[in-house]
Amino acid sequence: MHEPRYGLYLPPFGPFGDPAVLVDLAVRAEAAGWDGVFLWDHVVPAQPPIADPWTTLGAIAQATSRLRLGPMVTPPARRRPWVLARQAATVARLSRGRLVVGAGIGSDETGDFGRFGDPVDAPVRSARTDEALAVVRAMWAGQQLRHQGDHYRVNLDAAEPEPYPIPLWTACGSSHPRVVERAAASDGIFPLPGPQPPAPEALARIVARVRPSGRPYDVAVSGNASPAWDEPARVDLTALAQAGMTWWMESLIHFDPLALSLTVVDAGPPRTAFRRPA
């Protein structure tokens, strides 16, 4: 068992809706010893204003040198997969291989789909996600594409593959066979966040269902463990790591005051909460 990496996970809206604030936050995070900064991907904010995650990630890539970064998660079902593939490849090049792409079927909680006439039915979003990810992977690999699917049509000649590998993590919120298959085919999973991280026993069951053998596989878990919060939560990071967690995502939420969020960032990752076995 290895100590997990530590990232920040936050929405680019509300107090974080100014992209300049997000870039400053990422620079401070790198200086404080965090390993990554990951942004939600929404069109309609729960609290305005809102910043575009991909534009902001490009700016963060230029302002930092070590941090992993990416959307956590982006919904291919409401994005044109060929545009998503190019956006991701561009940020991967700008960051010299530090990009991680989190993907999921998305949510219509604030109207990201329904307000724009996109399908809101979960099975349709799931099918569009799987088809879109196949297109994205093929484009990153430089493969010839003559794709005539249920949702997308693509006609591309072969090209040079992207120079940097782009890990793809998928959101995993159920044991539905399609969800498990999608997660097992990816480079990592992000169990859908809730008010609390999953219990270690529950996480171990998820990991056992989806983690393939014979290759690296990341498991990202979100919650609050920093002692810098006004009311610090008690999270057993050691037990979560023993259950398979490789990334702890400290969650900053849009109703958290910006000053308090930056205090958490500046305090650095909660490494003291991790206890190595004797």
User: Mean per-residue pLDDT for 2-7?
Assistant: 93
Across the range 56-82, mean pLDDT stands at 97
The pLDDT confidence band at residue 274, using thresholds 50, 70 and 90, is low
Q: What is the pTM of this model?
A: 0.95
- Return the CATH architecture of domain 5-273: Alpha-Beta Barrel (3.20)
**Mean pLDDT over residues 141-145, rounded?**
97
Whether 177 has a pLDDT exceeding 60, the answer reads yes
Catalytically active residues, by annotation: 42, 109
CB 91 within 8 A of CB 67: no
Query: What band does 1 get if pLDDT is binned at 50, 70 and 90?
Result: low
Residue-averaged pLDDT of the chain: 94
Domain boundaries defined on the chain: 5-273
Q: Which two tokens stand for residue 190?
A: 């992000």
Structure tokens at 249: 């995502």
Per-residue HEC secondary structure of the chain comes to: CCCCEEEEEECCEHHHCCHHHHHHHHHHHHHHCCCEEEECCCCCCCCCCECCHHHHHHHHHHHCCCCEEEECCECHHHCCHHHHHHHHHHHHHHCCCCECEEECCCCCCCCCCHHHCCCCCHHHHHHHHHHHHHHHHHHHCCCCEEEECCCCEEEECCCCCCCCCCCEEEEECCCCHHHHHHHHCCCEEEECCCCCCCCHHHHHHHHHHHCCCCCCCEEEEEECCCCCCCCCCCCCHHHHHHCCCCEEEEECCCCCCHHHHHHHHHHCCCHHHCCCCC
State residue 272's pLDDT score: 58
